[in-house]
Structure 1
């Protein structure tokens, strides 16, 4: 048996206020003739965080509209514009949630790889190392800050660039940056982490390495969402660590049914990742009975409304599109149901599942 030699983020800074060290941290990678490019969630435009970004020389901020999740076309356009204006850059720094993290990783890869980002959607297709790239999350749950994938929606599919060159070279974890996130958004993103844990810990790909990370992440999610009566600074810190450990768990195993099915929703309907996972997971009692029971309790406790009826009125063609996108996530289905997963989750059963949502 041949074991995979997965990369990890080589450098990470953790601490409340550590964002203030960004300039110092990236200085050793700075070439004065080549700018750093800061990809920042548009929600921070004209806000205090943007004013504190340590721009020098030719450095620029590109604000990312996260109304929609990253698309291959948008990544290619950013790469082409940067190449035309600067040629070579010192690095790419992503500041925001999972969508911005994924955009930063994708742009960093595409700066050193030719063609369209659609060519690299899949597993281990990237030929050349990415430029230096840094992740600074401002919301916790996706695990994008630590994962070896960046999820992109292309003209034909929603699929990540999964490669050894995808992980960040540096991550700055500052719990203070997550303060003030809108309640529903924070919950849906936190549940992304919770669902990561359930899918990893119950999957066929589970091993001792991923199990140790997944169990710790699950404990922290339960502490934040089940045991505690109100949110505080410790909750921000715990969820940031849960996100990190959850991302590590799936890096060495895989996610499962909720993610596979939600990709179809996202591709066709534009449903955001965290919301989509919750919509699907809410219907998966048959496959994850204990996890779904606890999930429903957390939803009720936090007074969250899961969107309903989003697939109502879709045509046969539209259902087929979602099914085909979902069916393309083979490793996810194998992790959840084993090698014979297509016999268990037939296209007819998957259609019926979508019809419930």
Structure 2
């Protein structure tokens, strides 16, 4: 048996207020007058008090990232081209925001040193050259993007990540105070991304003691926060941030499953955001994850969250085929969920019926 030798995040800083140490953490990574580029979620564009805390030096630049749509390969390539035209070289890319912003930081960081288009690297272990210094600072918890070895991108023909050992961040900063102002609905959808990929990892065929240890703790924290807690507080922000971290670590050595595989099709065709897309799909997956779906529905009810329904109503056969093709292209996810014979189990016809339920 051949074991995976996988790359993890280089450095981790954790704690309320740790954002104030950003300047000293970045200082050793600066290369001459090459700037640090800060990709910042558009949520903060009208929050000067927060933006003023970003320690700009010399030619450093803040780039406000539009997260209306999930990251596209064309967006990555344009950001790379703009930065090269403006500065030639940069010292690093720092992503401050949710999963989309962190994925863009990882992707652009890689494309600063790799030739061609980011679409050329959608797949597993296609990146051959180390990128520039990359740092992730999550301002919402749940995606696990801060520890993931992928950056999920929608390309010309598919939605698939740049999965490689070079993709992981060199540094992450986990400051729970940055997540305190997240709107309740958005917080729930993103937190459920964590809960769902823990369920998928823990019931997958790739499961091992490494993944199980992290996944069980992350799921336990999600259930404590969303089923047991009476009200939201700083303790909840801290626990959810650690659930996100542990959940991401769980799938680092395993995989996600049916919900993620199906939601990729929704995202590609309809532009459905990742967190809410997973919720829409997971809501209908009792036959695959009965206990997890039962707990999920209890969380939805307790927090008065509305899960969109009938979003695939009226789609054409061609559109259903597009979603099915994207979804079935996620072979490792299906194998983790259903085993090596997954293609006999999840036929195109069965997947079509599943999409019709959404």
How far off its partner does 1:59 sit?
0.3
Q: Which residue of 2 aligns with 1:217?
A: 218
For residues 125-145 of structure 1, give each alpha carbon's deviation from its aligned partner in whole angstroms, at most 9, with x where no partner exists.
Answer: 001001101000000000000
Mapping 1:82-101, distance limit 5 Å: 82-101=83-102
2-structure distance, mates of 1:296, 1:345: 24
Stretches of 4+ aligned residues off by more than 2 angstroms? none
Q: What do you get for the CA RMSD once the two structures are aligned?
A: 0.6
How much has 1:46 moved relative to structure 2? 3.0
Partner of 1:7: 7
What is the DSSP-based 3-state SS (H/G/I as helix, E as strand, rest coil) of the residue aligned with 1:230?
coil
Any stretches of 5+ residues in structure 2 without a counterpart?
A: none
Residue 248 of structure 1 aligns with which residue? Answer: 249
CA distance in 1, matches of 2:65, 2:125: 26
2:337 alignment counterpart = 336
Give the structure 2 partner of residue 46 of structure 1.
46
Offset, 1:244:
0.1
Q: What is the aligned partner in structure 1 of residue 267 from structure 2?
A: 266
Q: How big is each residue's C-alpha offset from its partner over 1:217-248, in whole Å with a ceiling of 9 and x where there is no partner?
A: 01111110111111110000000000000000
CA contact (8 A) 1:18 1:174 kept: yes
| Residue 105, structure 1, aligned to residue 115, structure 2 | no
Quote the residue 2:17 is aligned against.
17
Which structure 2 residues correspond to residues 108-187 of structure 1 after superposition, within 5 A?
A: 108-187=109-188
User: Does the Cα contact within 8 Å between 1:32 and 1:57 map onto a contact in 2?
Assistant: no
Equivalent position of 1:324 in the other structure? 325
User: By how many angstroms is 1:266 displaced?
Assistant: 0.2
Deviations 1:275-307 (A, max 9, x none): 000000000000000000000000000000000
- Residues 24-55 of structure 1: per-residue CA shift (max 9 Å, x gap): 10100112310000000011013122121111
* 3-state DSSP of counterpart to 1:286: coil
Write the distance in 2 (CA, Å) between the matches of 1:193 and 1:146: 12
Shift of 1:10: 1.4
Q: Hey, what does 2:31 align to over in structure 1?
A: 31
The corresponding residue for 2:74 is 73
| Contact map agreement 1:76 1:116 (CA 8 A) in 2 | yes
Aligned-pair CA distance for 1:155: 1.0
TM-score (norm 1): 0.99
SS at match of 2:23: helix
Aligned-partner Cα distance in 2 for 1:180–1:149:
27
Kindly indicate whether the alpha-carbon contact (under 8 Å) linking 1:113 and 1:128 is maintained by their aligned counterparts in 2.
Answer: yes
Corresponding residue for 1:277? 278
* Counterpart position of 1:351: 352
SS in 2 for 1:95: strand
* CA deviation vs aligned residue, 1:160-203 (integer Å, no higher than 9, x gap): 00000000000010000001101110000000000010000000
Alpha-carbon distance between aligned partners in 2 of 1:343 and 1:281, rounded to the nearest angstrom: 22
Aligned mates of 1:32, 1:39 — CA distance in 2: 20
Residues 280-337 of structure 1 deviation map (CA, whole Å, 9 limit, x = unaligned)? 0000000000000000000000000000110000000000000000000000000000
